[in-house]
Amino acid sequence: MKVAVIQMSPVFLDKKASWEKLKELVLEAIGEGASVITWGETLIPGYPVWMGLTDSSRWDNPDQKRAYATYAREAVRLDGSIVEEMRKISLENGVMLMGGILEGGGSSVYATLLTIGFEGEILGRHRKIKPTFDERLLWADGDTEGLRTYETPEGPIGGLNCWENWIPLTRAALHQEGEMIHVAVWPGSFSLTKDITRFMALEGRSWILSACGVYRGEDFGHLSLDDFPMRDEMMSVGGIHSGGSLIANPIGEIIAGPLPDYEEGILYADVDRRTVLEERQNFDYSGHYGRPDLLRVIRS
């Protein structure tokens, strides 16, 4: 089964334009024979990179409030036209889409890993259970509703958002369901993915798809000051997130990526269940070696 990891820069704070750009790459990956396609954390309409580079934590900051209002406006609704179009593409082409969106729910927003199945159905949405550091000023806490795996022809697939991949119990919850292919979505940076991608492959004897975004100061130039008052400040910062997408096999080898810094593109790999089973002959954390009769994750 061929998998594809898309690395791209969004059209920042423009969900429709970001989806149109992503859609072209999704269709390109389908044309190359990919059956499972993924992309980075909250890629639509973008990861909130400005938070760590501006005065984001000052109470009642009018510029930050305006930026949040724009961000929330551009959140993706699960019953909206973008997700409907994703479902149509999945159904017509028999592919699974699994990637990051900023999900809107009420007036709150969530870092969500959305999974759309081979028949165009929404299989699940995994909201990040605990936003990290300045993300907490924007994203609401998630839940365990989407903390599960889904069937593919080459074994169960699951996924986590960014630093959730470092939480032993979130990984264990997916191993408990026999995960063989793991999707890890990130804002983007080789420093984030270089160690944990290989570690998770070795721990789970699993295929690991680490999907990253690309963010540069120039990506803010299309925004109005009315929508995003920090535009000029952000345009002067240069490179922010350089990518870092990787694919690792169950032996812990990096078999695709990273792309050169700040390069957009697609990584491909052919994954198979047999390699997973071969490597689990000596260590099967997703099976009997994990002693699920003694140690289990209990979800609230």
Phi/psi at 100 (5° precision): -90, 135
Q: Which residues contact 31 (CB under 8 A, 6 or more apart)?
A: none
* Residue 89 token pair: 């593409």
Residue 128 annotated to the active site: yes
Question: Residues 41, 74, 164, 179: which is the catalytic one?
Answer: 41
Task: Using alpha carbons, select from 273, 276, 208, 215 the residue that is nearest to residue 246.
Answer: 208
Three state DSSP letters for the chain: CEEEEEEECCCCCCHHHHHHHHHHHHHHHHHCCCCEEEEEEEEECCCCHHHHCCCCCCCCCHHHHHHHHHHHHCCECCCCHHHHHHHHHHHHHCCEEEEEEEEEECCEEEEEEEEECCCCCEEEEEECCCCCHHHHHCECCCCCCCCCCECCCCCCEEEEEHHHHHCHHHHHHHHCCCCCEEEEECCCCHHHHCCHHHHHHHHHCCEEEEECECEEHHHHCCCCCCCCCCHHHHHCCCEEECCCCEEECCCCCEEECCCCCCCCEEEEEECCHHHHHHHCCCCCCCCHHHCCCCCCCCCC
Name the catalytic one among 15, 103, 128, 135: 128
Determine how many CB atoms are found less than 10 A away from the CB of residue 83: 21
Residue 88 falls in the annotated catalytic set? no
Check if 41 is active-site. Answer: yes
Q: Which of 15, 103, 154, 162 is catalytic?
A: 162
What positions carry a catalytic annotation? Answer: 41, 128, 162
